[in-house]
Amino acid sequence: MQTVGYVYPGIDIEGSVEMKSKVIVALDFSSEQQVMDFVDRLSPDMCGLKVGKELFTKLGPRPVEVLIKKGFSVFLDLKFHDIPNTVERACAAARDLGVWMVNVHALGGADMMQSARIGLGATSDRPLLTAVTVLTSMDSAALSAVGLDATPEELVKRLARLAQSSGVDGVVCSANEVRELTTILGDEFIKVTPGIRPAGVPNNDQKRVMSPSKAIEEGASYLVIGRPITQARDPVGALTQVLEDIAGGV
Ligand code: C5P
């Protein structure tokens, strides 16, 4: 088979779904070369990796396969939202790819989330399933405009409950919501939190941010961190600092 684009050096390590860190680095890069240059400086013990819509749409599943073969736990962040049958099949495809975590929009409803779980299978090494409740870009006015007359806070709780009762393993949420969601849904329900900023790092477009150690203290299960690591002058150093912050703060 002809290889197009980045040429991968000999990959012979078996894939692994075991996640060894609480940090998931968002691979928000625009080229395969950038991704591989960055990842080649990391080890799977340091972090998981999040592949989102931009990278996946540009490059397809092959880089995901390579990252998994290198031993990284991959969070496939494609936020599936479709009819139940389509989401079930998409989740089955994600399972076949060997990803560690995949997500859906809770607004797709209980049937869709249950189908997502069916698509992932029932083996002990199946991918974890998380749900996005309310996009952080939506405020009350934006919800009202699409016919949802609830505050984002009310809707987050409602959809998180629905996700849990539909067999979903956890939610993607703001670190500010973690404590209350833990009270309502328990410790075991996974909370994946973006919007993490170590002290002294720009917020970029994130509105409500929290430091890594504080987010873990609040009860976050995993932290998604992008630019503070990927755009740092020394990305590996920035990730190491985050890991030290977590270790020191717990
Ligand atoms: O660079 P930064 O740390 O802000 O990246 C956060 C990552 O988490 C991005 O990939 C972004 O798309 C994702 N994300 C988010 N807020 C959400 C859901 C996902 O920032 N509510």
User: Pick the catalytic residue: 50, 69, 70, 79?
Assistant: 79
The topology (CATH level 3) of 23-249 is: TIM Barrel (3.20.20)
| Nearest ligand 1 atom, CA 28 | 10
116: left (phi over 0), alpha (psi -120 to 50) or beta: alpha
d(CA 182, CA 160): 11
Helix (H) or strand (E) holding 104: strand 101-105
Helices (H), the chain: 32-39, 53-59, 62-69, 84-97, 110-120, 140-145, 152-165, 178-185, 212-218, 227-230, 235-249
What 3-state class would DSSP assign to 248?
Answer: helix
Quote the pLDDT of residue 213.
97
For a pocket test of ligand 1, which of 23, 24, 28, 138 has the largest count of ligand atoms closer than 8 A to its C-beta? 28
Residue with the smallest CA separation from ligand 1 atom 15 is: 194
The answer to pTM > 0.75 is: yes
116 vs 17, residue with greater confidence = 116
Residues in contact with ligand 1 by the CB-under-6-Å rule are 26, 28, 52, 136, 172, 194-195, 204, 206, 224-228
Query: Exposed e or buried b for every residue in 91-117, given b needs 16+ CB within 10 A?
Result: beebbebbbbbbbbbbbbbeebbbbbb
pLDDT digit string, tens, across residues 119-141:
999 999 999 999 999 998 889 99
Domain boundaries defined on the chain = 23-249
Q: Report the Cα–Cα distance between both ends of the chain, in Å, rounded.
A: 49
d(CA 13, CA 71): 7
Token pair recorded at residue 196: 């993490």
pLDDT digit string, tens, across residues 61-99:
999 999 999 999 999 999 999 999 999 999 999 999 999
d(CA 188, CA 11): 35
| Nearest ligand 1 atom, CA 52 | 10
pLDDT digit string, tens, across residues 26-59:
998 878 999 999 999 999 999 999 999 999 999 9
22 is catalytic: no
Residue type, 167: G
